[in-house]
Amino acid sequence: MALPHVLVFPLPLQGPVNCMLKLAELLCLHQEIHVTFLNTEHIQQRLLNCTDVQIRFEKYPNFKFVTVPDGLPEDNPRIGDQIRKIIEGIEEVSSPLFREMVIAACGPTCLIVDGIFTFAVDIAKEARIPLLYFDTISPCSLWTYLAVPKLIEAGEIPFKGNDLDALVNSVPGMEGVLRRRDLPSFCRAPDLDSPIIQHVIKEGKHIVQAQGVIFNTFEGLEGPILSQFRAMIPNIYAIGPLHIQIKSKLANSQCLPKTTMSNSLWKEDMSCMDWLDKHPQKSVLFVSIGSLATMSKAHFLEFWYGLVNSMTPFLWVQRPGSIIGLEEDNINNVPKELSESTKERGCIVSWAPQEEVLAHSSIGGFLTHSGWNSTLESIVEGVPMICWPYFVDQHVNSRYVGEVWKLGLDMKDICDRATVERMVRQVMEVNKIKFLERAKQMSDLAIASVAESGSSYQDLDRLIEDIRLMRI
């Protein structure tokens, strides 16, 4: 029987690449599993420019990177509003090359690919090898994606009227929790022709054809939703939070040299760590909208005033290109009261070592766009959140953070300076102890899930065993 050889193919974006590299490294620790990691040329170049990923993976003789073009022009910014083009590029240009690799003699024995790559089902069938989908978004949001046909059938989308606070009834297990405004952002489209809605419906039909689905989550957080999934897809592996699963495995394997864990596509500005060192425990708010979200200049100024008026020290990631219209304007051209107050109690960087920042003792809150990786990283460190979701899954995540897990506040759809100030004061002053206690409880559950005999630890063991034995 051939040695197990897994071909890993992430969606070429920061979050999925970061997650899948962590999974790849976990698989590589089992020396008899070979791993080929398929990156687009664009992502690979950025990883090489910004991280020590090459050196980090050189220590695994059973690992190799392979690259394919992504079909986009070099100057495409590959940010949030380009997501459709990114998927089209992969389908048209990268997927035929992926197919050749899969069906080649001595090709892989198992595929682990992003859940959005519907083309992988036919390719896996043709090559007669097992396919595992890895959905790097949260199960709670994927569950709402899979409910889109039900929402259409029940006439709940497209919305009738403008009331975004009306409750939604056709997502099983989420009755009484979800309002229209909490559904994935594409549900706000005025008609059903939107390509993303059509793709989500297609994804739902394909995901059930895989031999299993991997999630970056843990039972203590999403147990009820995972049970719903198991009724539809029996083979679920909930192996998260991956970033602490890998840290704990590396800490236990003495033979491996310690290196950084960064998979950042931007250069991390480490100077903010010195700035954090100067602040008391739990006093600083971290602000970041991740790798894809953007904001208008008007929103940007409202955020800035809200932060400054809250009087809370803040560390703010202003990713290059994330504030629409700012380049032409000049960042220094902001009102003097903002720049003066920021000098007193703010620190602005273009990209931060986020996992380390959230783990720093001075961080007391996170104003986030509710991307799934950011949410998990915050949960692990016991940091309460203020959520300002931008698109797709983030609207569901932020609802769960605010309403179900009670780990912070969901600011969704509002962005005026008074609301920002009020919510920052709520999380950092008025209800600080309550939120910190609740966040600590969830953090303890996260850490327990990757400890020996924890649910995520066991699911990872089962995944590895299945990869060794799996044949279709």
Work out which of 17, 86, 132, 292 binds ligand UDP, going by CB under 6 A: 292
Q: Which stretch binds ligand UDP (CB under 6 A): 244-252, 335-343, 371-379, 462-470?
A: 371-379
Question: Residue 51 interacts with ligand UDP (CB under 6 A)?
Answer: no
Backbone angles phi, psi at 350, to 5 degrees: -90, -20
The whole-angstrom distance between residue 66's C-alpha and the CA centroid of its chain comes to 23
Work out which of 40, 62, 144, 288 binds ligand UDP, going by CB under 6 A: 288
User: What is the 3-state secondary structure of 248-290?
Assistant: HHHHHCCCCCCCCCCCCCCCCCCHHHHHHHCCCCCCEEEEECC
Dmax (CA) of the chain: 70
DSSP string, 409-464: EE-TT---HHHHHHHHHIIIIITHHHHHHHHHHHHHHHHHHHSTTSHHHHHHHHHH
Q: In this complex, which beta carbon is closest to ligand UDP, that of residue 34 or of residue 56?
A: 56
Alpha helices by DSSP H, 128-218: 139-146, 148-153, 195-207
Work out which of 118, 318, 354, 455 binds ligand UDP, going by CB under 6 A: 354
Question: Residue 408 interacts with ligand UDP (CB under 6 A)?
Answer: no
Please state the closest distance from residue 218 (CB atom) to ligand UDP, in A.
16
| Site size with ligand UDP, rule: CB under 6 A | 20
Please state the closest distance from residue 182 (CB atom) to ligand UDP, in A.
17
The contact mask relative to ligand UDP for 247-276 (x = CB under 6 A, - = no) is -----------------x------------
Work out which of 373, 398, 426, 443 binds ligand UDP, going by CB under 6 A: 373
Q: In this complex, which beta carbon is closest to ligand UDP, that of residue 108 or of residue 241?
A: 241
The structure tokens 């991956």 sit at 242
The whole-angstrom distance between residue 164's C-alpha and the CA centroid of its chain comes to 25
Work out which of 127, 147, 317, 363 binds ligand UDP, going by CB under 6 A: 317
How many helices (H) and strands (E) would you count in the chain? 21, 15
Work out which of 4, 14, 144, 385 binds ligand UDP, going by CB under 6 A: 14
Work out which of 36, 291, 318, 456 binds ligand UDP, going by CB under 6 A: 291
Q: In this complex, which beta carbon is closest to ligand UDP, that of residue 9 or of residue 372?
A: 372
Please state the closest distance from residue 362 (CB atom) to ligand UDP, in A.
16
Please state the closest distance from residue 11 (CB atom) to ligand UDP, in A.
9
Q: How many CB atoms lie within 10 A of CB 464?
A: 19
Q: Are 29 and 62 in contact (CB under 8 A)?
A: no
Q: Which residue is nearest to ligand UDP (CB)?
A: 371
Q: In this complex, which beta carbon is closest to ligand UDP, that of residue 4 or of residue 408?
A: 408
Q: Which of 176, 310, 242 is nearest to 449 (CA)?
A: 242
What's the rounded Cα separation, in Å, for the pair 146 and 140? 10
Q: Are 408 and 435 in contact (CB under 8 A)?
A: yes
Query: Which structure tokens are listed for 96?
Result: 């035929």
Q: Which stretch binds ligand UDP (CB under 6 A): 96-104, 232-240, 284-292, 298-306?
A: 284-292
Q: Which stretch binds ligand UDP (CB under 6 A): 9-17, 218-226, 419-427, 440-448?
A: 9-17
What's the rounded Cα separation, in Å, for the pair 93 and 68? 8
Question: Residue 355 interacts with ligand UDP (CB under 6 A)?
Answer: yes
What's the rounded Cα separation, in Å, for the pair 242 and 342? 35
CA 397-223-468 angle, 5° bins: 105
Work out which of 374, 398, 455, 456 binds ligand UDP, going by CB under 6 A: 374
Q: In this complex, which beta carbon is closest to ligand UDP, that of residue 109 or of residue 291?
A: 291
Work out which of 37, 366, 372, 435 binds ligand UDP, going by CB under 6 A: 372
Site residues, ligand UDP (CB under 6 A): 13-15, 18, 264, 288, 290-293, 317, 351-352, 354-355, 371-374, 377
